[in-house]
Structure 1
Amino acid sequence: MPTYKVIAISGYKPFELGIFQKDHPSAAFIKAAFKKEILPLAETGLEWILISGQLGAELWAAETVFELQEDFPELKLAVITPFLEQEEKWNEKNKEWYESILISADFVDSVTKKKYENPAQFKLKNQFFIHKSDALLLLYDPEKEGSPRFLYEMAQQVDGYPVTLITFYDLQQIVEEEQLKKYEF
């Protein structure tokens, strides 16, 4: 098991997964998949999780970190957005979810200290995450393209930079494991 001090986490946005509520039953399986990957890293000294605060995989990962902090209080969450006020055009429920994550995060900042101007800000965020982390954990399946593709492809270009994918097959395994737990007495 490798030891990392800092990992970046990202993945699909909720609409890319056909999920339109933060508490959708599928979210529990996504969080279980994150926990399965993060827990052994926390046990070997992981200190920081970096997310950019985008809806979906990243906020579910943040909720997973908060749960893990009960047993690993030294584990910290940094939310580093690509630009200021990224939630500006989100609906109220999503803004509330995002704000609840920011309030509990250990560190909040922005890569570019200005509001959205152009897609280059996302590229800068991706570069920042790869440069500042020891590894990437990505809820992404190369068989189903989506927004995580850009971060995934950039990470693939960096020699020796570890990328762990949580694919749809991995999620199916989690669903089956969780269902087995229910039926065991």
Structure 2
Amino acid sequence: MSRIWITGFRGFELGIFNNKDPKRQVIIFALQKLLRNEIEDGADWLITGGQMGIEQLAIEAALELKEAYPEFRVALMTPFKNFGSQWKEANQAALLKLKTQVDFTSSVSQLSYTSPQQLHDYQNFMLAHTEKAIIFYDEQAEESKARYDFLVAKKAAENANYELTVVDFDRLQEFADEYQESQREW
């Protein structure tokens, strides 16, 4: 069994504020390309969170691939109970919809948010239950919340048998160029 954790930039960090933003299609294209390669190399689970941005887009990309790869499974794990309850109603509805579409969903902590320790516990859970992380993050974006996941995954990759792939701004631009080229071919 091979399980992948995909995380990274939040939607607002990418400048994506609605479902019609063209950047969204580029990121889904990138995620599907990455996931296809992982599935063909033996990955059978995507385990990710429910953050708006890369995590939710990864779920969408994986769900679209299930037709071609029906054996591939998707888990949506949140750090704590009632995760996302403070979001706008439309964003809460989008998270709930994804929860109904995945193969498994749960919260690492069965308590509502009480402390930052729950977020550390969540990271440890993700590292313990995956063999690889794909993180959309660029070290130039120091203010990004993805930085915390990047640092913990980087440390795991340095100290253990854990694999880390980072999709930085340059790689994201390459995906954008590939996507644009693929649209011209149609």
Identify the TM-score tier after normalising by the shorter chain. over 0.9
1:83-94 → structure 2 map (5 Å cutoff): 83-94=80-91
- How many residues matched? 182
Q: Tell me the TM-score normalised to structure 1 length.
A: 0.93
Q: List gaps (5 residues or longer) in structure 2.
A: none
What's 2:101 paired with? 104
The aligned residue for residue 162 of structure 1 is 163
What is the RMSD of the two structures over their aligned residues, measured on CA atoms? 1.3
Match of 2:184 in 1: 183
Structure 1 residue 182: Cα displacement: 2.7
Give the equivalent residue in structure 1 for 2:6: 9
1:133 deviation in Å? 0.3
Q: What pairs up with 1:35-184 in 2 under 5 angstroms?
A: 35-145=32-142, 146-158=144-156, 159=159, 160-184=161-185
In 2, Cα distance between equivalents of 1:61 and 1:23: 17
Matches of 2:130 and 2:111, distance apart in 1? 23
1:110-140: CA deviation from partner (whole Å, max 9, x where unpaired): 1111101111111110111011101001111
Q: Alpha-carbon deviation of 1:181?
A: 2.3
Q: With structure 2 as the length reference, what TM-score do the two structures score?
A: 0.93
TM-aligned CA deviation for residue 79 of structure 1: 0.9
When residues 130 and 76 of structure 1 are mapped into structure 2, their CA distance, relative to the original with a 3 A threshold, is same
Provide the rounded CA distance (Å) in 2 between the counterparts of 1:77 and 1:100. Answer: 14
Deviations 1:122-173 (A, max 9, x none): 1110111011101001111111121111111111222232111111111111
Tell me the SS of whatever aligns to 1:82. strand
Report % sequence identity: 30
Specify every segment of 5 or more residues in structure 1 that has no aligned partner in the other structure, as ranges. Answer: none
Which consecutive segments of 4 or more residues in structure 1 shift more than 3 A?
none
